[in-house]
């Protein structure tokens, strides 16, 4: 029994069943050990979640030869974070922006982002704001990953099936005249609207970087 085995077992549970299913008892059962055995290596579930977070952040593989230019580097940073959430959907639920914990592997990610905007004429506060905004944006999209998985498990319906079940209500709303702009937009959808989180992520990432480009130009660089 090692701390690493406990952490990996816990990650496996959270990945397959969601963070709500995680417990120290469940980890012990997965490892086939006595209920109290994990406590010899990890003090509490809260401590375990921190160890899990640092472990999955340590899975990020940074390019050996980073692209040149701040925008290309921030694109990579955003996508690396998105991949991390795609692999571990529960992670977006546990990371706090307002009360961050300085975990080593998350700090490595932060260093990578900050180095991308270093030397662009931005002051220290703005550099940190850029880091937090990028991180918050990706996390904000990613929180939908686990919640959708939970909703599908609870209802037995996929996202597409659930949306189909709302067709009658949406059609009635569009025909009511109370939401004319919504009605016009819906009428312009030849094949309906497919909410794709990967597409939404890329759209938001590029839009954010477009805005940052304006900020950098204003800084005089």
Residues 181-206: pLDDT tens digits? 988 998 888 877 888 999 999 999 99
In the predicted model, what is the mean pLDDT of residues 162-188?
Answer: 88
Can you tell me whether residue 34 is helix, strand or coil?
A: coil
Average pLDDT of the residues in 20-31: 96
Q: Is the pLDDT of residue 167 over 90?
A: no
Taking residues 108-113, report their average pLDDT: 96
Residue 137 DSSP one-character state? H
Query: What is the per-residue pLDDT for 171?
Result: 85
The boundaries of every CATH 1.10.10.60 domain in the chain are 1-58
Q: In this structure, are residues 99 and 55 in contact, taking their beta carbons and an 8 Å threshold?
A: no
Comparison of pLDDT for 166 and 90, the residue scoring more: 90
The confidence band for 126, taking pLDDT boundaries of 50, 70 and 90, is very high
Q: Quick one: tokens of 3?
A: 């701390």
pLDDT at residue 218 greater than cutoff 80: yes
| pLDDT tens track for 35-69 | 999 999 999 999 999 999 999 999 999 999 999 99
Asked whether 18 and 149 are in contact (CB, 8 A), the reply is: yes
- List Cα–Cα distances, 1 to 27, 34, 210, in angstroms: 12, 11, 49
CATH architecture of 68-156+191-220: Orthogonal Bundle (1.10)
Q: Is the per-residue pLDDT at 11 higher than 70?
A: yes
Phi, psi of 97 (to 5 degrees): -85, -35
Q: What is the DSSP letter of 172?
A: H
With a threshold of 0.85, does the pTM exceed it? yes
Q: How far is CA 9 from CA 6, 42, 49, in A?
A: 5, 13, 12
The separation between the first and the last C-alpha atoms of the chain, rounded to the nearest angstrom, is: 54
Task: Give the three-class secondary structure for 63.
Answer: coil
Greater confidence (62 vs 153) lies with: 62
| Residues 6 or more apart in contact with residue 1 via CB below 8 angstroms | 31, 33, 37, 38, 40, 41
Instruction: Work out the mean pLDDT of the chain and round it to a whole number.
Output: 93
Give the CA count within 13 Å in the CB-facing half-sphere of 153.
Answer: 11
Cα angle: 130, vertex 126, 211; to 5 degrees: 55
Mean pLDDT along residues 100-113: 95
The larger pLDDT score, comparing residue 131 to residue 97, is at 131
- pLDDT for 114 equals 97
CATH superfamily of 1-58: Homeodomain-like (1.10.10.60)
Q: From residue 122, how far is each of 117, 194, 207 by CA, in Å?
A: 8, 38, 19
Q: Residue 145 CB: number of other CB atoms within 10 A?
A: 19
Average pLDDT over residues 136-151: 93
Highest mean pLDDT among 72-86, 94-108, 155-169: 72-86
Question: pLDDT at residue 220 above 70?
Answer: no
Pinpoint the residues of the chain covered by CATH 1.10.357.10: 68-156+191-220
């Amino acid at each position: 029994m090692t701390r690493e085995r406990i952490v990996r077992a816990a990650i496996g549970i959270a990945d397959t069943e969601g963070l709500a299913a995680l417990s120290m008892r469940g980890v012990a059962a997965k490892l086939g050990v006595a209920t109290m055995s994990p406590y010899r290596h990890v003090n509490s579930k809260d401590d375990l979640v921190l160890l899990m977070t640092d472990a999955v952040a340590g899975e990020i593989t940074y390019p050996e030869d980073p692209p040149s230019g701040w925008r290309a580097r921030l694109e990579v940073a955003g996508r690396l974070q998105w991949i991390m959430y795609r692999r571990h959907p529960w992670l977006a639920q546990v990371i706090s922006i307002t009360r961050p914990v300085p975990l080593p592997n998350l700090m490595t990610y932060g260093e990578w982002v900050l180095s991308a905007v270093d030397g662009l004429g931005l002051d220290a506060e703005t550099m940190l704001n850029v880091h937090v905004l990028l991180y918050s944006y990706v996390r904000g999209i990613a929180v939908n990953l686990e919640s959708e998985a939970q909703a599908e498990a609870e209802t037995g319906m996929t996202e597409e099936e659930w949306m189909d079940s709302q067709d009658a209500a949406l059609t009635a709303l569009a025909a009511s005249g109370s939401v004319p702009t919504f009605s016009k937009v819906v009428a312009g959808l030849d094949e309906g609207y497919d909410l794709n989180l990967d597409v939404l992520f890329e759209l938001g990432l590029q839009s954010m970087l477009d805005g940052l480009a304006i900020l950098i130009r204003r800084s005089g660089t």
